[in-house]
Amino acid sequence: MALIEAALSAAVAAARPVLSAAARRAAPLSCCASYSAAASSSSFSCGSGDIEDSPPLPIPTPRGQSLLARFRGRRALAVTDITATEWCEKQMEFVLEHGRPERTQAMKAGSERHAQLEQEVIERVDVTIRSAEEMWAVKFMNFIVGANQLMLEGITRELPVFGVIEGSWMIGVIDELQMPPDGVSLHPILVDTKTRYKPTPPSEAQKRNGRLQLMCYKYLWDNLIGEKFPAENFFSYFDLDPNYLLSDDIKQFIRLLGLDAKTLEDVLKYFKVTCHTLPRSQEQLLLRYELQADHSLLEEYLFSYDASWFKDQIQEVLSFWQGARDAKFVSEEERWKCSFCKFANNCPINASSSRCC
């Protein structure tokens, strides 16, 4: 174990700008993989050539299935699925049913700024991902490298995390983790930088949304380092083969980091060893708001993790996803959100406009 740690440390220290992997699919995944939830018209050249008189029809998706089953079957909910739902459940529903609206200029600027911040500490390396197993292997490797960077250099960005919250698999990317200066504390602080188009202070709804996001990350990080990662459940839930042989491309990427792995299970072992060495995160979380125009600081918002508030929020969001109830509309005080929503014209909350006496 000491050897593994030494190897990791050496690798991370040597490769000054830490390596990460940009997952880019060269080709669609193998034809019969369970990816196409909505098996549409796309070319499904799966073995059997002709469709005979009584082909094994794809199971028609029964109505009344939960959104979780329909849109996130055998997949994890993203942390941003949680926050998008908290923002407006009806809008989340529209996005699932009708697809994402076009990205705004503000969103593009935000993405660019985040890429810039990431580049300050991370060098991206492209690897081709051919399967779900390889996707997870890369996620684990990026976690290992990022966590080691945090401990050695005091900071890391865009760190992937995953785990189970209130019974549901979740996945997310921590914007930033930073060790406190000196020996003040051994516990890293979670930070999220929000860029703003206008120099106005963030609304309460935005801050609440950001709090929820950061609490998701803290929960996932603390659970990973607490070594509660349910490996057996992980492989079966995502239908992964632990013994899947990684491609030479991926193996080479792993070797760049001083490790040697042939299978996804090998990678998971390194991951577990790394998790054992990491400290819990601080109870204090930080949202940092900056102006897109000049990156000037608009507000720094420090707040505390609140386990019971967090649990309630997650349960509320999950009850929507699980179909326990219909989507809720925004509250009267937050009706202003509708003016930013692409689906406002089709939304029942605005039913008065279309039908007049």
Q: Largest Cα–Cα distance in the chain? A: 78
Identify the residue among 113, 208, 269, 280 touching DNA (CB under 7 A).
113
Indicate which single residue of 89, 133, 134, 175 sits in contact with DNA (rule: CB under 7 A).
175
Question: How many residues lie near DNA (CB under 7 A)?
Answer: 56
**173 in contact with DNA (CB under 7 A):** yes
Candidates 48-56, 105-113, 144-152, 239-247: pick the segment binding DNA (CB under 7 A). Answer: 105-113
Q: Which residue among 74, 103, 187, 295 contacts DNA (CB under 7 A)?
A: 103
The stretch near DNA (CB under 7 A) out of 17-25, 247-255, 264-272, 299-307 is 17-25
91 binds DNA (CB under 7 A): yes
The reply to whether 78 sits near DNA by the rule CB under 7 A is: yes
Q: Which of residues 41-70 bind DNA (CB under 7 A)?
A: 42
Q: Is 25 in the site for DNA (CB under 7 A)?
A: yes
Give me the 208-237 binding string for DNA, x by CB under 7 A, dash otherwise. -x---x------------------------
- Under the binding rule (CB under 7 A), the answer on residue 85 touching DNA is no
Residues that bind DNA (CB under 7 A): 22-23, 25, 28-29, 35-38, 42, 76, 78-81, 83-84, 87-88, 91, 99-104, 106-115, 160, 171-173, 175, 192-198, 202-203, 206, 209, 213, 337, 340-341
